[in-house]
Amino acid sequence: MIAAFYLISVVLIVSAVLAVSLRNLIYCTLCASVVFISSAALFFLLKADFIGVVQILIYVGAVATLLLFAVMLTKNLVSRQYYVGQKRKWSYGIFTASAVLWVLIGSIRSQTNLAELVTADHQLSVVSLGKEMLTAFLLPFEVASLLLTAAMIGGIVIALEEKKKSS
């Protein structure tokens, strides 16, 4: 169990770095889907099966394909980085990211009374999850569905708008 955690987090970090820094966009999206899969694996490790499965279904199944289609439609596969003038920005990026990381790690370490792992294996059954979602969390559930329909219609309207005029 322990080895699995470290292995997966190494894969996670490496593929995240690759997903962000590669030049060829197709490889970027590929590494992004590896990030999504390994974070789903972490969820399984943390005994959150339902969320792990939802993560794979939504991120790898839909979001990665969407990204691939977007990459294909915008056609600049090998993103031509004009680094001429913006060398410094690149270093700015590293500086801010490491600053944020330092702050976060600092806050984690300063925390002393972090909760210990109390029960070795407690499993939240999917049925209770479902009940909870439709009782305590009914409002966010309805708002989420509203948001999804709005996003769908918005996405279509933006993408489709051009087709109507030109055809």
Partner 1 sequence: MTNTIETQTRPSLSTQQLEVSIGPQHPSTHGVFRMNVVLDGETIVKLKPVMGYLHRNHEQLAENMSWLGSMPYTDRLDYFCSMTNNIAYALAVEKLMGIDVPERAQYIRVIMAELTRLVNHTALVGFLLNDLGAFFTPVLYAFREREKILDLFESVAGSRMMCNYMRFGGVKLDLPDGFVDCAKAIVDNYPPFLEEMERLLTKNEILMARCQNVGILLKDLAVNASVTGPVLRASGVNYDIRKIDKYGIYDRFDFKVPLGTVGDVYDRYYVRILEMRESLKILRQAFKELSAGPVISQKGLIAAKSPRNMKVPAGDAYGRIEAPKGELGFYIVSEGGTKPYRYHVRAPSFINLTILEDMCLGHKVADAIIILGSIDIVLGEVDR
Partner 2 sequence: MLDPRFRGSDIKECMENLDQIFVQAKRTVMNLAESVLPQPLVLLVSMLISIGVIAAIGPVIMMYLTWLERKVVGRIQNRIGPNRVGKFGLLQPIADGIKMLTKEDIVPEGADHILHFLSPVLVVVPALLVLGLLPWGRNMAAVDLQVGLLLFFAITSTGTLSIFLGAWGSRNKFSLLGALRAVAQLISYEIPQVFSAVVVIMHTQTISIVEIVNAQPGFNWFVFTPWGFTGLVLFYIASVAECNRTPFDLPEAESEIVAGFHTEYSGMKFALFYMAEFLQVFSLSALAAALFLGGWQGPFLPSWIWFFLKTYGLIFIMLWFRGTFPRLRVDQLMGFAWKFLLPMSMINIVVVGIWTYASPIVAWVLGILIIAISFGVLAKLNTRYHIERNRKFILAE
Partner 3 sequence: MTIPLSHYLAVSAALFSIGLFGALTRRSAIIVLIGIEIMMNAANLNLIAFWRYSDGTRATGQLFTFFGITIAAAEVAVGLAIVISVYRLFQSTNVNEISDMKK
What is each CA distance from 92 to 7, 12, 99, in whole angstroms?
A: 31, 24, 10
Positions in 20-79 near partner 3 (CB under 8 A): 20-21, 25, 28-29, 32, 35-36, 39, 42-43, 46-48, 50-51, 54-55, 58-59, 62-63, 66-67, 69-71, 73-74, 76, 79
| Nearest CA-CA partner of 42 in 33, 57, 55 | 55
The rounded distance, in Å, linking the Cα atoms of 86 and 84 is: 6
Does residue 2 interact with partner 3 by CB under 8 A? yes
120: phi then psi, degrees, rounded to nearest 5: -60, -50
| Nearest CA-CA partner of 82 in 72, 90, 74 | 90
Angle (nearest 5°) at CA 96 between 94 and 102:
100
Residue 163 interacting entry, from partner 1, partner 2, partner 3, none, C-beta within 5 to 8 Å by type: partner 1
- Give min distance, CB of 167 to partner 3, in A: 14
Q: Is 52 left (phi over 0), alpha (psi -120 to 50) or beta?
A: alpha
Per-residue mark of binding to partner 3, 88-117 (x: CB under 8 A): -xx-xxx-xxx-xx--xx--xx-x--xxxx
Does residue 134 interact with partner 3 by CB under 8 A? no
- Give min distance, CB of 158 to partner 1, in A: 12
Among residues 27, 137, 138, 142, which is the contact residue for partner 3, using CB under 8 A? 137
Q: Is 36 left (phi over 0), alpha (psi -120 to 50) or beta?
A: alpha
Positions in 28-47 near partner 2 (CB under 8 A): 30, 33
List residues binding partner 1 (CB under 8 A). 73, 162-163, 165-166
Contact footprint for partner 2 (CB under 8 A): 26-27, 30, 33, 49-50, 53-54, 56-57, 60-62, 64-65, 68-69, 72, 123, 125-127
